[in-house]
A and B are shown apart, each in its own frame.
Chain A
């Protein structure tokens, strides 16, 4: 708990490196999925990772809480290298919030229980305190009145907002979003993005893999463009969208922006 309290004013220490990937390599059999990845995300920064499908951006996102292992290189969170396994790894994951493309809410638990499970079982919080906090978070993401329902009874957009609340309940140092709106109907994308923009404005450190260029333009501090497992280009959204340097990025933007 103390680690959380220290970071409670999230803007404190803004600008210090929080997540550092150095010379990261990852292979899936023959496929070189991540090539020479060098990426530093500072506290309070919102980094949006974009790129064509199969470019390794989801894999990159998943290596940061070690849902994917890496073959070479190092990843550090707040100066500490990621533990290999066991309790230490579980403790690290508690510090890293993750939101999945397919929500992955616990299907057998109510919305409230989904949000309180981590605080109770991992942080050792009392049930009453965890409930109160969970209800606040659910209120904040706009699904407070759904607390007693089961995930299957909610729309995709609502489920994804619950998933964000579930991650926030752990008071993470950084939030990873792995294509959080890709499985949503168009009219539900906005409600999820709104929650994410709010979070960004409150100073949460965020790494967001997405195809939502609008979100990248408005909320990102930096855009990282990946192709074929490598980081090809990075810069401010303004720079990247108006004046991409690499041909690969020009080609990609040409394809998605011309409609």
Chain B
């Protein structure tokens, strides 16, 4: 533990990066995954097929492979994302590693988000969408105003699991030059081999806290939408 306490700054920075990866790719995967789910249940055959292929491709590929693809194959193809290093957000330079990692995490997690949302859409009785169409809502309006708000209620538990998995999946970025929690833990254990157990525990607690925050927020949201019906 001492090693962690003496470099507590690093510990906090590491988890800040983990949280950063999680928040950015979590948000993006929610948006992209929901769009994919709408394609999947929508009336346009080509979008339907495309989204199905996407889910098959990314859900069935190990996350590590997607990371390797983003970190090694994409730069070879000319997409190294170094242009983002000129950007500055709130005084911090954006790193190309961070962008590549969030893209990999988003691509992967979206496939799971899509399926979670789709299961929620299927849980909404068909009559709801029919009633929406019957008053003249377009497909997009009836999705946005009638089906998805009700689907979200059924989606919260599986979506929480998907997002918790994402919290832990951010650790894969350790292998690609991101000094997030796992990478920092490895560095600390390397330098303080005698305190391994304590260091492990300290980092495990960090993850547990993040995941608990996610799952408590999910409970709070669940309670809130339960009341509103």
Interface residues of A (CB under 8 A from B): 65, 67, 85-87, 90-98, 100, 102, 104-108, 117-118, 121-122, 150, 152, 163, 166-167, 170
Q: Which residue of B lies closest to A163 (CB)?
A: B131
Chain A residues contacting B131 (CB-CB under 8 Å) are 98, 100, 104-106, 163, 166
- Across the interface, A87 reaches (CB within 8 A) one of B125, B132, B133, B138, namely B138
CA A167 – CA B131 in complex, angstroms? 10
Known: A104-B128, A108-B228, A121-B141. A98 touches B134 (CB 8 A): yes
**Is A107 a contact of B128 with CB atoms below 8 Å?**
yes
Known A-B contacts: A90-B137, A93-B135. Give 11 more (CB < 8 A): A67-B133, A93-B134, A93-B136, A94-B136, A108-B229, A117-B145, A118-B135, A122-B135, A150-B229, A152-B229, A167-B134
B136 touches A91 (CB 8 A): yes
- Cα A98 to Cα B133 in complex, Å, equals 10
What chain A residues lie within 8 Å of B135 (beta carbons)? Answer: 93-94, 117-118, 122, 166-167, 170
Minimum distance in angstroms from B225 CB to a CB of chain A: 8
Task: Assess whether B136 is in contact with A108, with CB atoms less than 8 Å apart.
Answer: no
Q: Which residue of B has the minimal Cβ distance to A95?
A: B136
Most chain B CB within 10 A, of A93, A106, A167, is at A106
**B43 close to chain A: CB less than 8 A:** yes
B150 part of interface (Cβ distance < 8 Å) = yes
In this complex, the member of B150, B153, B229 whose beta carbon has the largest number of chain A beta carbons within 10 angstroms is B229
CA distance A65 to B131 in the complex (A): 11
Size range of the chain B interface in the assembly: 20 to 34
Instruction: Please name all residues of chain A whose beta carbon is closer than 8 Å to the beta carbon of B137 when the two chains form the complex.
Output: 90, 117-118, 121-122
- Report the minimum CB–CB distance from A1 to chain B (whole Å): 13
Q: Which residues of A contact B125 (CB under 8 A)?
A: 102, 104
Closest to A66 in B: B133
Question: Is B146 located at the chain interface by the 8 A CB criterion?
Answer: yes
Binding site for A on B (CB under 8 A): 43, 125, 127-128, 130-138, 141, 145-146, 149-150, 153, 228-229
Secondary structure dominating the interface of B? helix
Instruction: State the CA gap A96–B153 with chains docked (Å).
Output: 31
Give chain B nearest CB distance to A66 CB in angstroms: 9
A104 touching B138 in the complex, CB below 8 Å, given contacts A67-B133, A121-B145? no
Cβ distance A166 to chain B, nearest Cβ, rounded Å: 7
A117 to chain B, nearest CB (A): 7
Chain A residue contacts of B150, Cβ below 8 A: 107-108
Q: In the complex, are the beta carbons of A90 and B130 less than 8 A apart?
A: no
- Provide the residues of chain B in CB contact with A163, threshold 8 Å: 131
CB-based contact A170/B133 at 8 Å:
no
| Of B130, B145, B228, the contact of A67 (CB 8 Å cutoff) | B130
**B73 to nearest A CB, angstroms?**
40
Neighbouring A residues of B153 by C-beta, 8 Å: 108
Cα of A98 to Cα of B137 in the assembled complex, Å? 13
- 6 A-B pairs with C-beta separation under 8 A: A93-B136, A98-B131, A104-B125, A106-B131, A108-B228, A122-B137
* Residues of B contacting A150 in the complex (Cβ-Cβ under 8 angstroms): 228-229
Rounded to whole Å, the gap between the CB of B35 and the closest CB of chain A is: 19
CA distance A121 to B133 in the complex (A): 12
Could you tell me the distance in whole angstroms from the C-beta of A259 to the nearest C-beta in chain B? 31
Q: Which residues of B contact A87 (CB under 8 A)?
A: 138
Chain B residues with Cβ under 8 A from A67's Cβ?
130, 133-134
How far is it, in angstroms, between the C-alpha of A96 and the C-alpha of B135 when the chains are bound?
8
Task: Select which of A85, A98, A121, A122 is within 8 A of B43 by beta carbon.
Answer: A85
**Do B136 and A170 have beta carbons less than 8 Å apart?**
yes
Chain B hits for A85, CB < 8 A: 43
Contact of B133 among A93, A102, A117, A166 (CB under 8 A): A93
For A166, the chain B residues whose CB sits under 8 A away are 131, 135
Across the interface, name the chain A residue whose C-beta is closest to B146: A106
- The complex places the Cα of A137 from the Cα of B229 at a distance, in Å, of 22
Contact of A102 among B127, B138, B229 (CB under 8 A): B127
**Bound-state Cα–Cα, A122 to B136, Å:** 6
Residues of A within 8 A of B132 (CB): 106
Give Cα A152 to B125, complex, Å.
14
Q: How far is the CB of A153 from chain B (nearest CB, A)?
A: 9
Q: How far is the CA of A33 from the CA of B159 in the complex (A)?
A: 41
Q: How far is the CB of B3 from chain A (nearest CB, A)?
A: 51
